[in-house]
Every structure is written in C-alpha cells, then in structure tokens.
Chains A and B, each alone.
Chain A
Amino acid sequence: MTVFIFFLFAAWGSTHAFHVSKAVVEYNTSEQAVQVSMHLFLDDLEAALKQTHPEPLYLCSDKEKPEAETYLKEYLNRHFRLVLDGQSKALNFLGKEPSEDLQGVWCYLEIPKTKAPKSIRVIHTALMEVYSDQKNIVHLSFPGNREWTCLLSKDHTEETLTL
C-alpha cells in the first residue's frame, strides 16, 4: 500500500514551477495618461514568442535579436487590452528593462492624453496559450486612492471595473 501511495504521488512529479505575470495599471493625473508596468518571465515569453518567431529572440540579453522588440510589442498588443469607457484604446510601447533578478522583463506601456475613465475593462490573455495554469495579476490604481486587484486566468480572461 505504501508503494501504491508512493507511485500515486510520484506520478504527479514534483516541479514547483509557477506561471504568473503581474501588472500595475495607474492613472497619472499630471500627465493625463494611463500607464502600465508589466512583469513577465523571460523563459515564458520566449516560449510564447516561438509561435510567431521560431528562432530564440534572446530578450534582454547581449544577444537580443534586433526584431525582438517588434515581436514583443505585437504580442502584447494581441494579448493585453484596455477598454476605457467602452472604447478600446491603443497602448503605446514605451520600453522594457530586465527585472532585478534577470529572470523577467518589465514592459512599460501607456495610453497618452486621456481623461480619467469612469469604467475600465482589462483583457489579459498573455501566456495563457502556453500554460493552462497561467495567472495574470493586475493591480489598478486610480486617483482618490482607489485600488483594485484582479486575478485573471484561462477561464476568466477579463474584468470590468466601474469607478
């Protein structure tokens, strides 16, 4: 019986990989812009970008391919959208930088010149096509100390918030 339990557990494997991304969406009152900082793990991102660019892009390394950022921008455009007051707004890609531990990348996006929205819809499907257990955490911070957090996953890819 012990042997049975042993195989039962062993069959599950014992990897502790976790598939999480996180993003902060803020309204910057002085610049009148919606600003996004998004953290994605580099290995996850490479796996996702492989579908449109079979060769590795070596994001955030010395070997980074010149076309890497174009593919990243295009990927984020497809998988992350913000709808402000019912209108889907284009997000400008401002730049990226490796995270402190070099395992991830911070991407900076912005919707410039926009009024503080009354409602916001977050659609975030990044990496969910790669990992069925991918979780995308989005924290929203709006004027007047209004803060919300949503936890998006494959069966719950968007959230609407009325401010």
Chain B
Amino acid sequence: MQSLFQTYLTLGFEHIADLKGYDHILFIIALCAIYKLSEWRKVVILATAFTLGHSITLALAALDIIPINAAWIEFLIPVTILATAIYNVVVHRFSREMEEGTFDRRMNLNYFFAAGFGLIHGMGFSNFFRAMVMPGEHAQLIKQLFAFNIGVEMGQLLIIACVLTAAYIAFNLGKIKQREWNLFISGGAAANALVIALERWPG
C-alpha cells in the first residue's frame, strides 16, 4: 500500500519511460544528441526547462482552464522532435565556425525552445493524466499533479543518463566523432518523428 504521492510519482515515471508511447523518450534523446557526458549539467537544465513547460500546460489542462484538441497535440509532439533534430544538425554545422559567445546565445535559445516544446508535450500528458486523476478535493489534484511531474522528471533524468552514457562509450571506445554521433542520433530521431507525424496527420 502506498501513498497517493508515491502512486502518481510511479505513474508519471512509467508514462514517460513507456516504450509503447515512446514519443517523449524520442524528444529527450533528440535533446541530448549534441552533448557530451561532461556537459550533463546543461542537459539537466534543458530537461528542467522542458519540465517547466509541460508542468504549466498539464496543470492548466487538468484544471480545465485550457481545452485540448488531442488530435492536434498528438500531431505536434513528433513535430517538436523533428524540429529539435533539425536544429541539432544546423547548430552543429555552424558552431565550428562561430565564436564561443555566439554559440552560448544559441544555447539560451535552446532552453527557450525546450520550455516552449514542453508546453505541447504537457497537453499530451494531460490526456493520460485525466484518465487516471483521482476525483476529490482540489488540494489532492495539485498533489497528484506535483507527484506526476516529479515522476516524469525522474524518468527524463534516467533517459538522459542512458543517452549520455551511450555517447561517452561511442566517443571513447568507439572513437566516434561528436559530429557523427549527432548526425546519427538526430537523423534517426528525425526519420522516426516524421513517420509518427504523418501517421497522426490531423483531419
């Protein structure tokens, strides 16, 4: 027997780590593609910006403040993955010729996008959250939302740890260049996101 908090934390974690609905996993993978293990702090901040975005829309949707068009949201989720993957390739190509300062400013833009894309994913989470939210007092709803978001964030951190470890192995044991790694991961994510987007074409 668990507390309400533990249960919704588990549900949040399992929801993001679920291979059957892997679109959120794919987004996190795409987000990590341009980083090395030593840059993990940046990725954690990036994922937290994403969490901030999806927490806002998930709460607004769960509290019935914003309406959700599930078909459009489900379509836009792979679009955010595709955009991130394309952005990765473009940033990487330009970064070699750019000064440090310019690159950093682009990175700030990255946080902005992660938060913005989080807004879309949050609306996606709300379909699931509505199905399992326990009716009752308002305070309980906030507690369930909070626990669910913590669970999602933990799931994200696990995915980041896996991808950055794989990158570390690729760079150090596989002697793969960072540029190749990025093209490989971003290319795979883009191809897959494109298929999902076409499958979910609204209308």
**A interface, CB within 8 angstroms of B:** 1-3, 5-6, 9-10, 12-18, 20, 22, 24, 37, 41, 101, 133, 135, 137, 139, 141, 147-151, 159-161
Contacts and interface: CB of A to CB of B under 8 A. Distances in A.
Contact of A18 (B23, B131, B133, B191): B131
Residue among A14, A17, A41 with most chain B CB within 10 A? A14
Residue among A9, A133, A151 with most chain B CB within 10 A? A9
Contact of B74 (A16, A22, A41): A16
B126 to A, nearest CB: 12
- Report the interface size class on chain B: 35 or more
Q: Which 8 A-B pairs have the closest CB atoms?
A: A5-B188, A149-B7, A16-B21, A6-B191, A2-B187, A9-B192, A149-B4, A148-B1
A149 B134 contact: yes
Contact of B10 (A14, A17, A133, A151): A151
B134 A2 contact: no
Contacts of A9: 22, 26, 188, 192
Contacts, number: 95
A120 to B, nearest CB: 10
A150 B22 contact: no
A102 to B, nearest CB: 13
Given A139-B134, A149-B4, A150-B2, A10 B195 contact: yes
A15 B1 contact: no
Contacts of A18: 15, 21, 128, 131-132
Given A149-B7, A151-B7, A151-B10, A12 B19 contact: yes
B53 to A, nearest CB: 19
B80 to A, nearest CB: 14
B12 to A, nearest CB: 12
Given A18-B128, A151-B7, A151-B11, A159 B21 contact: no
Nearest to A4: B188
Contacts of A41: 131
A134 to B, nearest CB: 12
A129 B20 CA distance: 19
16 contacts: A1-B184, A5-B191, A6-B192, A9-B188, A12-B19, A12-B22, A18-B15, A18-B21, A18-B128, A18-B131, A133-B20, A137-B132, A149-B2, A149-B8, A151-B10, A161-B1
Interface in B114-171: 124, 127-128, 130-136
Nearest to B4: A149
A41 B128 CA distance: 12
Nearest to B131: A20
A2 B190 CA distance: 10
B23 A150 contact: no
A149 B132 CA distance: 12
Nearest to A151: B7
